[in-house]
A and B are shown apart, each in its own frame.
Chain A
Amino acid sequence: MQRIGVFVCHCGTNIAGTVDVKAVAEALKNEPGVVFSTDYQYMCSQSGQNMIKEAVAEHRLTGIVVCSCSPRMHEATFRKTAQAAGLNPYMVEIANIREQCSWVHKDMPIGTEKAVILAKAAVAKVNLNAPLTPGESPVTKRALVIGGGIAGIQTALDIADAGFPVDIVETKPTIGGKMAQLDKTFPTLDCAACILTPKMVDVAQNEKIRIFSYSEVTDVKGFVGNFDVTIKRKARYVKEDVCTGCGLCTEKCPQKNVPNEFNLGMDNRRAIYIPFAQAVPKVATIDPNYCTMLKTGKCGVCSKVCTAGAIDYSAKDEYIEERYGAIVAATGFNPISMEKFDEFAYSQSKDVITSLELERLMNAAGPTGGTLLRPSDGEHPHTIVFVQCVGSRCAACEQKGKEYCSKICCMYTAKHAMLIRDKYPDTDVYVFYIDVRTPGKNFDEFYRRAVEEYGVHYIKGMVGKVSPEGGKLKVQASDLIYGKQLHIDADLVVLAAAIEPDKSARGLATMLTASMDTNDFFTEAHPKLRPVESPTAGVFLSGTCQGPKDIPETVAQAGAAASKVIGLLAKDKLLGNPCVAHSDEMMCNGCSTCEKVCPYGAITYQDKEFRMPDRTTKVRRIAVVNEAVCQGCGACTVACMSGAMDLRGFSSKQIMAEVDAICK
């Protein structure tokens, strides 16, 4: 028989306002096993915890029930208290009489009655609790960062700085991500390349960091501390360790008409290419979709001109396997397709562009050498219209846009408008906005500068239609403050396209068993208190794969994710969760049902010899749970038809005892 102490918390008036806490403590005194019952204003406070410790000693308690807030909040606190008092921490149960009782009831008698029932259920469970000891598993001291944009770069640098090896897997031939495509960055207007490329070089030169560029993660197995990851290294047909990055092949390749994705298809590259001058690694890659040699077997120009002998047309995709202690998702974003927004005539006119395309048109390394020219005719645009929130804050239909605010557009549009007015003062710039959202250090000041010092016309209203007519873009829009419908003949229209998570994120989330929201952004373990951790242990989030954010925020989050990784890798061993499944081998019939429902791959089978009553032996197939992998979700326990599977700490018996106590 247990000796149970019951501690009823007032939580100020949070609980005591709708629950008669003294009556609850009194009612519990007569429950089987309860030898002590009391109430206190704040059970979680220092003095509340001391009260528990003293009661354990005084009444020789073997189990504890705390009637308080949700176990999410303070279960860990009270387990520590019990441990300090010499009890096994798993002898503590929480009766949630706040979120599930006082907060949802208005009537004191009803609230009190329910609190008593919840407390009785917890007592019934503690009567069946047994001490549990978590298992241990080793930690592989190496991290994997998936995605080589500014988020991945910063996370990798910070982890490496703490002395741990890091691998970056990047699907493109170079790291750098979206930031490498940007011209200037708000709110200081320093050039993106000037601040990014030194970091890229740092990555390349850091001996703790390996870059797997032009590569993809294809499989993830294992669990926190020990992830086994398969990485596909796509054939680049150029030996990475031999290529000197001289670029001669990219000048001599006769296949000149390949749309250049780095410039968003606004100019062409060769079939063998280096994405941009500061690429890391600076090695060439052959695009198999366009290379004449790979397609027809005739050409070989690049091989002939390569003095280093780096070209290898026979290269094949390679798969490597590596074990990691922690994984960071940094898969980034893309602007959404403008296909469904043709009221802005994106498909009808080359002079209707997205903001990212404008970045390339203003960049010295872009298709126009940094001079802002219209894509259609190479003329200077004199009237430019910016349209905000194209596809952002769009709840009309799922196929069209995104319900969320993309967060970065207000600031980059202010930047674009300002830069254009600065460089081409004879240009009229109009920005149609719904709201200007500029929270952030020096952000609103930046936007106001665009208006007050650079004379950008900010118009509260939305563009309804863009019509390409006679070489102009006729823009029809509302000016809500003036109360007028405006008609502007523009030369260039720039759409602030909503951003969405990279398409690779969904497949990756499945591999990592990391959860996502309805927009395919990775979900954090807690939106406020654990913003860089995924709910899946050992998986961390960096940058825009978690939600829209600008560069300063991305870098901050990347550093935070790194610190969490370092905290994990610094440990030699990890304590597991002892509330895991285990199978009663005498009852298991080896049917494989549990294995099929297990989302973590924690169940395997073994053939075991059993001694039979007649002294013969028999080999039977039985389920075995890898306790280090099991997350204690309980799916197997309900799927098991023979009742062999049970969950420690949440056994069927314990649950039934709780139900009985509630229904009594």
Chain B
Amino acid sequence: MQNKKSENLKEQVLRMSGVNPSKCMRCGKCSGTCPSYDEMEYHPHQFVYMVENGDIETLMKSDSVYKCLSCFACVDRCPRGVEPAKLVEALRLCVIRQKGKNHMTADDIPAVLDDEMPQQALVSAMRKYSK
């Protein structure tokens, strides 16, 4: 059974994402299409399944939330309209919105920068990885 905290977290994730994980029919097309699959500890279909089961904290502890490219291939290819990428996004926000939990800060930038890197990469990364 889920405890109160995980129930709250689940509700928050569902509300933020607008996703209804119970629409999932467990076909795994999201994970079949995901370009980051091999980098992830938990894969798109597991995000859907684990959110449905209220296991939010396990996902929040995993680096997998940072590996999604937001390419939305899983969203457009899902036969049931589940939109797994929106769940990953909501989970990542659940993590980085906590105090001191930014995954990337301005101090990290110089190390990744090169002369050609477009501004777009930096603003995107900052938006994805910090509040």
Given A476-B33, A480-B45, A485-B37, A462-B28 contact (CB < 8 Å): yes
Q: Judge whether B34 is part of the interface by a CB distance below 8 angstroms.
A: yes
Identify which of A125-133, A244-252, A391-399, A422-430 touches chain B: A391-399
B-chain residues with CB within 8 Å of residue A463 when the two chains form the complex: 29, 32
Instruction: Considering the complex, give the chain A residue whose CB is closest to the CB of B44.
Output: A478
- In Å, the complex CA distance between A477 and B73 comes to 13
Which listed residue, A397, A401, A477, touches B32 by the CB 8 Å rule? A477
B61 in the interface (beta carbon within 8 A): no
Closest to B32 in A: A464
Asked whether A485 lies within 8 Å of B32 as measured between CB atoms, the reply is yes
Q: A461: CB under 8 A from chain B?
A: yes
Within 8 A of B (CB), among A448-467: 460-465
Q: Is B64 among interface residues, defined by CB-CB distance under 8 A?
A: no
Contact residues, B20-49 vs A (CB, 8 A): 23, 25-34, 37-38, 43, 45
| Partner of B27 from A343, A389, A476, A483 at Cβ < 8 Å | A389
Complex Cα distance, B86 from A306, in Å, reads: 68
- A393 contacts B81, CB within 8 Å? no
Q: Which of A343, A434, A477 contacts B25 (CB 8 A)?
A: A434
Option from A396, A462, A485 in Cβ contact (under 8 Å) with B38: A485
**A476–B32 touching, CB < 8 Å:** yes
Which residues of chain B come closer than 8 Å to A460, judged between CB atoms?
28
Shortest Cβ distance from B113 into chain A, in angstroms? 31
Contact, CB under 8 Å: B33 / A461:
no
For A255-293 the 0/1 string (1 means CB < 8 A from B) is 000000000000000000000000000000000000000
Give Cα distance in the complex from A271 to B30, angstroms: 46
Residues of B within 8 A of A461 (CB): 27-28, 31-32
- In the assembled complex, the Cα of A462 lies from the Cα of B33 at a distance in Å of 9
Given the interface contacts A401-B79, A464-B73, A464-B77, does A480 sit within 8 Å of B33 by beta carbon? no
Is the Cβ of B29 less than 8 Å from the Cβ of A478? yes
Residues of B44-83 whose CB lies within 8 A of A: 45, 73, 77-81
Bound-state CA distance A368–B23 (Å) is 43
Q: How far is the CB of A493 from chain B (nearest CB, A)?
A: 13
Flag if A464 contacts B29 (CB, 8 Å): yes
> Which single residue of chain A is at the shortest CB-CB distance from B33?
A464
Within 8 A of B (CB), among A435-489: 460-465, 476-478, 480, 483, 485
A462 contacts B37, C-beta separation under 8 Å: no
Distance between Cα atoms of A434 and B43 in the complex (Å): 17
- Knowing A462-B27, A462-B28, A478-B29, the reply to whether A396 touches B34 (Cβ < 8 A) is no
Chain B residues packing against A (C-beta within 8 Å): 23, 25-34, 37-38, 43, 45, 73, 77-81
Give 7 closest A-B pairs by Cβ, nearest first: A464-B33, A464-B32, A462-B29, A478-B32, A478-B28, A478-B31, A396-B81
A residues within 8 Å of B by Cβ?
343, 389, 393-397, 401, 432, 434, 460-465, 476-478, 480, 483, 485
Could you pull out 5 A-B pairs where Cβ atoms are within 8 angstroms?
Answer: A395-B79, A396-B79, A460-B28, A464-B29, A480-B26
